[in-house]
Amino acid sequence: MNLNPLLIGSGLPPFEQLDPAQVEPGIKEVLTQLDRELTALEQHLVPTWEGLVEPLEELQERLRWSWGIVNHLLGVKNSPALRSAQEATQPLVVEFYNRLGQSQPLYQAFLALQGSPAYPHLDPGQQRIVKQAIQSAQLAGVGLEGAARERFNAIEQELAELSTRFSNHVLDATQAYSLTLTDPADVAGLPPSLLALAAQSAQAAGHPQATPDQGPWRITLEAPSYFPFMQHSQRQSLREQLYRAYITRASQGELDNTPLVERILALRLEQARLLGFANYAELSLAQKMAPNVAAVRELLEQLRAVSYPVARQELAGLSTFAAAQGSPADLQPWDLAFWAERQREALFAFTDEELRPYFPLPQVLSGLFQLAERLFGVHITPGDPQAPRWHPQVSYFQVQDDTGAVVAYFYLDPYSRPGEKQGGAWMDECLGRYRDLQTGQVQPPVAYLVCNQTPPVGANPSLMTFREVETLFHEFGHGLQHMLTRVDYRAAAGINNIEWDAVELPSQFMENWCYDWQTLLGMARHYQTGEPLPEDYARKLLAARNHLSAMAMLRQIHLSLVDLELHATYEPGGPTTAAEVRRQVAQTTSLLPLLPEDSLLCSFSHIFAGGYAAGYYSYKWAEVLSADAFAAFEEAGLEDEEAVAKTGRRFRDTVLAWGGSRPPLEVFEAFRGRPPSPEPLLRHSGLVKA
């Protein structure tokens, strides 16, 4: 009988060998083994690094490896069989994590280690791991007893289950809606790339005769279909239809997330109070860089006060422009993307679609890898062609340092796959870096980089929008922090142990390089002719960077404040609903009134099914850091190759190398030589003059 792939416990996961039927028996067996090992560890604990931290890390890694495969495949290769297997085993995994987090012997051993004569001799990374382990145990309910502990654990179970259901509902609701068009008048204005994608989608949905020229054309709520349609469709009635479908996803019928939203918020509040916090936001911030809710509000209000009046001017200008083109003066929500695109074309004399042929994925990757070499001295090439993959479209790469040694690997899964792949883009850990103290051998880290960009259509490669290029650079930034870490302990290597509101620093930092003249011209080449992007296009693209940037900033502030208020002041079960809280926040953060049926919360996966609960502000908090980090390169001189390389190595040797081994403010100050300033963010956004 073949070994269940989930029991291997190390190395690259054998994705293609895993059958969903193996998930339940495999995870149960892993948990049975780990339960025995945890009992043995608790009985023979020695409160030293070698006697406590190392065996515990080993034990946790075995579960992370096996359960990580299941959750990764749920995100990229979702199926009914895999779903039910994950749902059947998730309660057992949560139960084990509760047992681990609430183990009194482990907690007492960590306290003893922190108070021992050996503790001052541990390096800063080791000390931070010990401190974080103590805090994590406290936040996992180690101090609770009896009925309070039972209730806490029941809440953990229910929250895990609700989070998975929420996510599946969004995926199913997105997939369930489509708009099939047969009249050429209904696709007026749509670019060739979207017509080709829509015809390909129609073919897959049972119209084998569909062509880009003749149709039928199938438009969906998947990002590569929805957003270009909203930008380019000349049929206002169809834009309205699609917009209303998008903002009501997962808010009706069997897939309605409304009760899940209320239940999740109620459970989080109850959990926070069990731990002695006034609300869930306080609990969330206990493990973040921001000191308290007031500090988050202060930053968001500072940004709101600057961006709101400018955003109103931008909207007024957009309305005037649209009226001059014959549109009704009162713009509706489904008009904004369309007229923003027309205004941008008029102001800067180029369209997103004109740029697409210059950004084929292979060429963009080549430019991105050259940038990584220029900044950080790393060389990226295709990895082992035999490495296991979960889909034929997935690529595998290796990363070498300046000595030629392979230091990391990563998977890239770039394209949208409706029906089996969650929307959005993310980076996750396949394998973390660690050093085996017996052999001295280092396990190189392996990252997953997942996007949902426009897939290849026909014989053409994936021709990317510039936004998709930025998204790829963003996820690659997360990947760099995971891959270029020098920390030898799993618990603080790469992205581990980094406060959530600092974790976006490298990703947002990398986005800035899309607008760097040398990087842009180095990667933008026509997929058929190889001609570089004409310089006048490049200048227009850079000039258009801050087009309607205050409106974009205000949108992020709106989402951040909604998240914060829901977790800091909202009382579930009271006279108001979560949706009404959002409407109150919208009064000072939204330029157009929300539609009565706007149910954005029902698809707000970041805070209800991701890790961003009471943490969505992290994008703005970290953007202050990332803009200031990029400003270091501007000050050194972006044209000065030697200065860029020197500053890049400093960034690599601090922000990327230290990972979670030191507090993020200390890491930032080691790179920048001073505390962060919000001025570069406002300047890069065009909201203050240089």
Q: How far apart are CA 501 and CA 547, in angstroms?
A: 27
CB 565, CB 269: distance < 8 Å = no
Strand partners of residue 450: 413, 426
| Residue 261 belongs to a domain | no
Assign residue 45 the CATH number of its domain: 1.20.1050.40
Rounded Cα distance between 299 and 407, Å, is 38
Residue 87 included in any domain: yes
Contact 572, 265 (CB under 8 A): yes
Both 462 and 387 in a single domain?
Answer: yes
On whether both 376 and 513 belong to a single domain, the answer is yes
Residue 116 inside a domain? The answer is yes
198 and 134 within one domain? no
Alpha carbons 566 and 52: distance in angstroms, whole number: 39
Q: How far, CA to CA in Å, does 168 sit from each of 154, 175, 214, 262?
A: 22, 11, 34, 17
Task: Judge residue 593's burial from the number of C-beta atoms within 10 Å of its C-beta, 0-12 exposed, 13-18 middle, 19 or more buried.
Answer: exposed
Q: Cβ–Cβ contacts within 10 Å for residue 35, how many?
A: 15
- Give yes or no: residues 535 and 402 share one domain: yes
Q: DSSP 3-state assignment of 335?
A: helix
Query: What are the Cα distances from residue 322, in Å, to 232, 311, 325?
Result: 14, 16, 5
Q: Are 543 and 558 in contact (CB under 8 A)?
A: no
Q: Is residue 688 part of a domain?
A: no
Residues 506 and 366 in one domain: yes
Domain end (from 546, 580, 610): 546
Q: Does a structural domain hold residue 210?
A: yes
Q: Which of 244, 227, 229, 199 is nearest to 452 (CA)?
A: 227
Enter the tokens of residue 608. 């209800």
Could you say which of 353, 429, 475, 623 is catalytic? Answer: 475
* 505 touches 626 (CB < 8 A): yes
48 inside domain: yes
- Say how far residue 624 (Cα) sits from the centre of its chain: 18
Angstrom distance (rounded) from CA 298 to CA 294: 6
Query: How many helical (H) and strand (E) elements, i.e. helices and strands, does the chain have?
Result: 27, 9
**DSSP E strands: which ranges in 502-566?**
none
* CA angle at 571 for the pair 566 and 573, rounded to the nearest 5°: 115
The answer as to whether 455 is a domain residue is: yes
The amino acid that residue 434 corresponds to is Y
Of 211, 239, 267, the one marking the end of a domain is 239
Residue 216: asked if its preceding bond is cis (omega within 30°), the reply is yes
Paired sense of beta strands 395-400 and 379-382, if any? antiparallel
Evaluate whether 398 touches 436 at the Cβ level (below 8 Å): no
Give the distance, in angstroms, between the CA of residue 603 and the centroid of all CA atoms in the same chain.
15
Helix, strand or coil, per DSSP, at residue 599: coil
Alpha-carbon span 591 to 352, nearest angstrom: 25
**Would you say 27 and 92 are in contact if contact means Cβ atoms under 8 Å apart?**
yes
DSSP type of residue 122: S
Which residues span the domain enclosing 196? 177-239
The H or E element spanning position 153 is: helix 146-176
**Total structural domains in the chain?**
3
Whether 232 and 136 map to the same domain: the answer is no
Residue with tokens 């998240």: 563
Same domain, yes or no, for 139 and 181?
no
Together in a domain, 188 and 113: no
Question: 91 and 208 share a domain?
Answer: no
120 shares a domain with 28: yes
Distance CA 22, CA 10 (A): 17
State which amino acid sits at residue 270: E
Q: Map residue 676 onto helix, strand or coil.
A: coil
d(C-alpha 647, C-alpha 624), whole Å:
18
Length reported for the chain: 690
Annotated catalytic, 475?
yes
* Residues in the chain, pLDDT under 50: 690
**CATH, residue 426:** 1.10.1370.40
Return all residues near 529 (Cβ < 8 A) that are at least 6 apart: none
Task: Answer for the pair 329, 319: CB distance below 8 angstroms, yes or no.
Answer: yes
Between the two ends of the chain, the Cα-to-Cα distance in Å is 68
Secondary structure (DSSP) of 67-115:
HHHHHHHHHHS--HHHHHHHHHHHHHHHHHHHHHHT-HHHHHHHHHHHT
Between 549-568 and 578-589, two packed helices, what is the crossing angle to 10 degrees? 140
Which of 666, 648, 631, 352 shows the shortest CA–CA distance to 477? 648
d(CA 256, CA 542): 42
Boundary of a domain, candidates 498, 525, 546: 546
What letter would DSSP give residue 249? T
Is the residue at 272 inside a domain? no
Task: State the Cα–Cα distance between residues 605 and 163, nearest whole angstrom.
Answer: 9
**668: Cβ contacts below 8 Å, ≥ 6 apart:** 502, 505, 625, 628, 629, 655, 675, 676
3-state helix, strand, coil in the chain (%, to 5): 60, 10, 30
19 and 110 housed in the same domain:
yes
How many other CB atoms are found less than 10 A from the CB of residue 529?
A: 9
Residue that has been written with the tokens 């963010």 in this structure: 681
Give 328's contacts (C-beta < 8 A, 6+ positions apart). none
Report the Cα 290 to chain-centroid distance in Å.
Answer: 19
For residue 151, what is the enclosing H or E element?
Answer: helix 146-176
Whether residues 184 and 120 fall in one domain: no
